[in-house]
A and B are shown apart, each in its own frame.
Chain A
Amino acid sequence: MQPYQKEYIANLKDISALIADRKPDGRSFAAYMEELYEHKRLIEEKIKRNMTLLRDGLFPLLDRLFEATDEELAQLEEFAAALLDGKNELDGGLFCQIHQALLSRARLTKNRNTIIEQLYWLGIGRNNMCSKMVGLDFSDSEAYMTQMRLCFGEAAAYLKYYDEIDDTRTRGYILRARANTALGAFKSASHKIRLIRQTLQILQDEDYQAKAPELPWDRYIYMTHQQMTSSISYSRENDMTPQDVAAIMESAHIVHQRRIQEALERHEAPPVKAAFSCYAIEYYCGLCTLAELLGRMEELMDSRDITDFSPDGMYAIISLPAIYCNYLQEYPEYLPKRREYLEALYRRIIAYVETFPGKKANEQIFFFLRQLSTTFIETADSISYGELQQRLLIHFAPDAYVHSQVVGKAASAFCAMIMDEEPAFFDDIDSIREITDPDAKRQQVLADAMACGAFHDVGKINFISLYSRTARQWFEEEYEIARLHTIVGSARLSAHESTRRYAAAALGHHSWYDGSHGYPDAYRRLECPCRQMVDVIGLMDWIDNGMHSSWLYGHEEKSFDQAVADAIALEGRRFSPLLTARLRDRTVVEKLRQVFESGLSQACRELYNVNAAPKSEKHG
């Protein structure tokens, strides 16, 4: 790698470490805050430096990519590999940019082998993006899945010329691309399983193997079996043919046997994931009942200690409960007897999350958490869905947590000032209009405003690395993906009784008052029954974002007064004039200024308290 590339990577790692280091470690709040600000300063410094490194180093290279030397190209590939190495994602967006550029170059120079290789890597990059879309409707993520699949599909099409391609590496890319065409979500599980089955046939074909004996065939085949077994993660029996089930059963058996063997050799317990696949396929084949399967899952989940932060430990403690919840969602008649177990399970998960080492946080745990957030079942005595989301934000996206709290507090204060003048201002919300007692109505509005603010960004949990770990400005594609946080947040909040009333704020807080800009299209202001509240959240969110996170949005950090003045300038377009009119009142502005300042301090204090509090459960 070139020096600027090494420095960029080092900066990314430093930034990750600084973000992860939020434990008070016995320090006072003042000292904690001081260090937090120092970290923020350091992070911003490194981000600026990274931008300079890309501008001075990478972009000029991409600019003259057609005359880049082989060495430069090799270094560029090495740099990209360090950005996304399969286990860890340091900068998936930049990884895609680089491979897109290399693919364009390969296409223009008509270099077949490079086209295949770059298609493969671009597909990998896009798959990484797709993995963040758990919980989104297929229609919202289909375009991204398709782009990923087409990269692999085109590379896999060269399988026909396998014989004449004498480069083993390229042959390997073709085979791996063929297997990867089954990655991601499909409209039909059967389609996915059919693709994996076809891949297995190809990989097990002795002709192919004989022509490239140096390729790791055993590993390819084993990974494809693994891919097959993961198709059973969610209950899809209505969507699978008997052949599908048989194919999965065979793969599950192979994977299970091998994992048991490997575990025995290492003197470890058999891995949970492989065991679950075997149990699940037995259930699908009618060899055991759902009650038995759930019982076995409970044993597997309980078998891992909550201090086990290995991939299998993460799977047992977060992903398997997500699948467990999914079964209970589909078969609610099994829930009553398992309420207590479920509640205890959630407590373990929270304890696990809260003790999870920041430095170990990676895409794998984020992926499992997305699964859990999607299938979570709320019971009367369980932790609420909202609380789970708050805990996740605190631990994995503390800046998003602080921002959400500040927005909630500011929105609540702003609503109080509005209601002083117009007590019926929020009567567009049915449940508010029905409250006849003015004090009760006011209290409810303020509580709603706080909660709407606190939850408006929960969708960011799907894109933690994008929001919290992207150590540069976003590319356009990343903006597009980040916009999905509104849709995913709204979908999650509306799926649970305790958070349903805040879903509109999550969906609409980036919309424009006049509908000319903003997103998502799914939010139609005039059709929203609580648009005034959504407008308030949107305004407070915009002001707070203007004062912070400016690097992400490519503008200078604004003062509070500047942010307010800019909001007024957008009156009638971005913001409701009914709200911005109030920002012309100095008293209102001064009160808001205080709330934004104190809110930030309070939210940081809450973060400090949560992180400083002793964790009650240290084992399962």
Chain B
Amino acid sequence: MEAIKGYLLIEYSECASPKILYADSNACAITGLSGEALSAADARQAVRGIDTAQIALDAAHELWILDCSQERYNAAFDRISQENRDLRDALRAAQEENLAKSSFLSSMSHDIRTPMNAIMGMTAIGLSHIDEKSRVLDCLQKIQSASNHLMSLVNDVLDMSRIASGRMSLNDEAFSLADMVHDISIIVRPQAAQKRQDLQMEIGQIYAESLIGDPLRLRQILVNIIGNAVKYTQEEGRIRVSLAQHLGEAQAADNPANEQIWLDFLCEDNGVGMSPDFLERIFVPFERVNTAAVSRIEGTGLGMSIVKNLLDRMGGRITVESEEGKGSRFCVSIPFHTALQEDRPLPEGTVLLAESLDGRAQQILDCFRDSGMETVHISSGMAAVTWLTEAQYENRMPRVLLLGQELSDMPVLEVAAHVRQLAGREFPIIWVAEIDWAQTEYRASRAGVNAFVPCPLFKSRLLSTISELTCGSQEGLDTATGQEADYSEYRLLLVEDNELNREIAMELLSLTGIQVDEAENGQRAVEAFERSPEGYYDLIFMDIQMPVLNGYEAAKKIRRLPRKDAESVWIVAMTANAFVEDIRLSKEAGMNEHCSKPVEMERLHDILRRRLKP
């Protein structure tokens, strides 16, 4: 016969005796008490001596099954009590998280509303001034900025959600630490500049610049930490970032190749800092410093949590020190494997460095220690020009001129332009500076700078740029990147009536490898172009004053030819006629640009580089 079981529903609480909320008839029979008596009784007393088992319904209610053994009951009681405690802890954590989420939602709704307000407001303003192009442009720029901010908020939330759901995976790929640091610098520098902060980025001991890891996530970590430093540091504050490497314990310093290397990143600022309380919760999602000083700073409060999660996955570690009102210090170490890096040979000879910032100059000079190259350091532009003039006269030109961030007496690019004239096209000029190259490239290239090496400076980047520019073929160097430029697959039509000028131009062009056809007047040029297959010529250098048919007429005739490339072929006027009207006339005749005579090597090369991009 099956044992009869009775059921009691008990309300359980730590501060009072368990209270029976419900008892079925079997329970009354087993205990010998009526339902009313049971509900008034102490549950434990009521079931004394009866074998029981308990099932927890939730944190505060239990279903007791009567007629169980005492051992079973005790074991179950202990287990359930523990489970209840765990549940209470989980509940508290969930409530806290919920509270943080509520606070996050409240903050986010503010943070989202702020850019959304801007988007809606600027849209309305733009619409009401639709005829004022510059006003509309201004509105669109503000809308774009607000949208970008909104997008970053959403991305943070998505990232956190991916991490929480375990859907985020890390990629392993080879990447250049130098590129990474340069990219980060470009992202954070404008933000710091906007607040007129002194952001110093220093590079310490680096064993390997080619690493294997997830560059996207590494960048996310570093940008997040530096970005926070910028955000939470007052205007004109100071932020110092340093990057170095140390070898894994079992690793010998003389054999770092393809082994584990730790990247040590430090970011310290003299910003608002954090309270000890907050410091404990810094990696909890949705937490943000919330003081009067920073109440206007926007963000999700997910950044540091994402950083911590990513670091955990990458096997890295992070420590944070901070003092309210004084600033913060973040130390991150991440292990990476090293990728093979090919060392390019360096030439023998001298490097002339022109830089007035002593610290920067020393850093550059240090790169040449044990390189086999001699260095000469000069701090003014005038001294550099004097040194080069003497060196040229004495046939002891340096292998390369490195122009630094600043000179004591004049702008760097003015010196570059003059040295280019003085030393000729083949002399390599490298600009080593902490600037946004994309913003300066055009001016620098026009001034004659061959290549750019960004700061914070990486030795391998500097030495490989010098190697590229000075070793092997010197012909056809791409002035913007320092890459060797090969123009041999391109064809140029040189139209010039003066034989000597033609000879000089041919000589200059021959250095670039480009294939050159000659025409001695405009008519011959038109005929040569007509005869050639479509797309045959990539460039035409056209003299203006020529017998039979002048350059203007020739250009017009070429443009009128019934073939596709007649419209697109790039025609450069080469003339001594330097009036603005002459430039206009050449453009009206269909020519694309103007190059004044006597033709300078650098100018020719500049045109090839811009137009042909090998």
Given contacts A59-B545, A573-B133, A576-B132, 12 further A-B contacts (CB under 8 A): A59-B575, A64-B501, A107-B421, A142-B410, A142-B411, A154-B385, A157-B386, A157-B390, A513-B133, A515-B137, A526-B135, A554-B579
- In the complex, the answer to whether A514 meets B598 with C-beta atoms within 8 Å is no
Report Cα–Cα, A453/B340, bound state, in Å: 68
- In the complex, the answer to whether A60 meets B390 with C-beta atoms within 8 Å is no
- For residue A580, which residue of chain B has the nearest CB? B131
- In the complex, the answer to whether A474 meets B580 with C-beta atoms within 8 Å is yes
Residues of B with C-beta under 8 A to A156? 386
What is the predominant secondary structure among interface residues of chain A facing chain B? helix
- In the complex, the answer to whether A55 meets B577 with C-beta atoms within 8 Å is yes
- For residue A143, which residue of chain B has the nearest CB? B414
Q: A146-B411, A150-B385, A158-B393 are in contact. Are A63 and B132 (CB under 8 A)?
A: no
Report Cα–Cα, A150/B447, bound state, in Å: 14
Report Cα–Cα, A514/B140, bound state, in Å: 13
B386 to chain A, nearest CB (A): 4
- In the complex, the answer to whether A63 meets B597 with C-beta atoms within 8 Å is yes
- For residue B415, which residue of chain A has the nearest CB? A150
Most buried by B among A103, A108, A525: A108
* In the complex, chain A residues 544-591 whose Cβ is within 8 Å of any chain B Cβ: 553-555, 572-573, 576-578, 581
Q: A321: CB under 8 A from chain B? A: no
Q: A381: CB under 8 A from chain B? A: no
Report Cα–Cα, A66/B503, bound state, in Å: 11
Residues of B with C-beta under 8 A to A108? 504, 598
- In the complex, the answer to whether A578 meets B131 with C-beta atoms within 8 Å is yes
B256 to chain A, nearest CB (A): 45
- Could you mark each residue 137-164 of chain A with 1 if its beta carbon is under 8 Å from any beta carbon of chain B, else 0? 0000011011101110110111011000
Q: A433: CB under 8 A from chain B? A: no
- In the complex, the answer to whether B498 meets A64 with C-beta atoms within 8 Å is yes
- In the complex, the answer to whether B133 meets A554 with C-beta atoms within 8 Å is no
Residues of A with C-beta under 8 A to B132? 572, 576-578
- For residue B421, which residue of chain A has the nearest CB? A107
- In the complex, the answer to whether B504 meets A66 with C-beta atoms within 8 Å is yes
- For residue A576, which residue of chain B has the nearest CB? B132
Residue in A147, A153, A475, A525 whose CB lies within 8 Å of B382: A153
- In the complex, the answer to whether B137 meets A67 with C-beta atoms within 8 Å is no
Report Cα–Cα, A212/B194, bound state, in Å: 58
B38 to chain A, nearest CB (A): 81
- In the complex, the answer to whether B131 meets A572 with C-beta atoms within 8 Å is yes
- In the complex, the answer to whether B385 meets A526 with C-beta atoms within 8 Å is no
Q: B409: CB under 8 A from chain A? A: yes
Q: B203: CB under 8 A from chain A? A: no
Report Cα–Cα, A59/B577, bound state, in Å: 6
- In the complex, the answer to whether B576 meets A149 with C-beta atoms within 8 Å is no
* In the complex, chain B residues 391-413 whose Cβ is within 8 Å of any chain A Cβ: 393, 409-411
Residues of B with C-beta under 8 A to A514? 133-134, 137
* In the complex, chain A residues 358-405 whose Cβ is within 8 Å of any chain B Cβ: none
How many B residues face the partner with a CB closer than 8 A? 43
- For residue A55, which residue of chain B has the nearest CB? B577
How many A residues face the partner with a CB closer than 8 A? 58
- In the complex, the answer to whether A51 meets B385 with C-beta atoms within 8 Å is no
Q: A97: CB under 8 A from chain B? A: yes
- In the complex, the answer to whether B598 meets A101 with C-beta atoms within 8 Å is yes
Most buried by A among B381, B387, B410: B410
Report Cα–Cα, A548/B260, bound state, in Å: 75
> What 8 A-B pairs have minimum CB-CB distances, sorted nearest first?
A554-B581, A157-B389, A62-B576, A157-B386, A146-B410, A146-B414, A150-B418, A473-B579
Residues of B with C-beta under 8 A to A60? 545, 576
Residues of A with C-beta under 8 A to B410? 142, 145-146, 149-150
Residues of B with C-beta under 8 A to A151? 418
Residue in B387, B583, B598 whose CB lies within 8 Å of A65: B598
Q: B422: CB under 8 A from chain A? A: yes
Q: A338: CB under 8 A from chain B? A: no
Q: B500: CB under 8 A from chain A? A: yes
Report Cα–Cα, A473/B545, bound state, in Å: 19
A482 to chain B, nearest CB (A): 11
* In the complex, chain A residues 85-104 whose Cβ is within 8 Å of any chain B Cβ: 97, 101, 103-104
Q: B600: CB under 8 A from chain A? A: yes
- In the complex, the answer to whether A146 meets B381 with C-beta atoms within 8 Å is yes
Residues of A with C-beta under 8 A to B597? 62-63, 65, 101
Q: B196: CB under 8 A from chain A? A: no
Residues of A with C-beta under 8 A to B581? 473, 554
Residue in A112, A149, A476 whose CB lies within 8 Å of B393: A112
Residues of B with C-beta under 8 A to A104? 598, 600
Q: B561: CB under 8 A from chain A? A: no
Report Cα–Cα, A439/B104, bound state, in Å: 56
Q: B584: CB under 8 A from chain A? A: yes
Residue in A112, A160, A187, A555 whose CB lies within 8 Å of B390: A160
Report Cα–Cα, A26/B387, bound state, in Å: 64
A-B residue pairs in contact (CB < 8 Å), sample of 22 = A51-B579, A63-B545, A63-B575, A64-B500, A65-B598, A67-B498, A142-B410, A143-B414, A147-B418, A150-B385, A154-B386, A154-B422, A157-B387, A158-B393, A187-B409, A475-B580, A514-B137, A515-B134, A526-B134, A572-B131, A576-B132, A578-B131
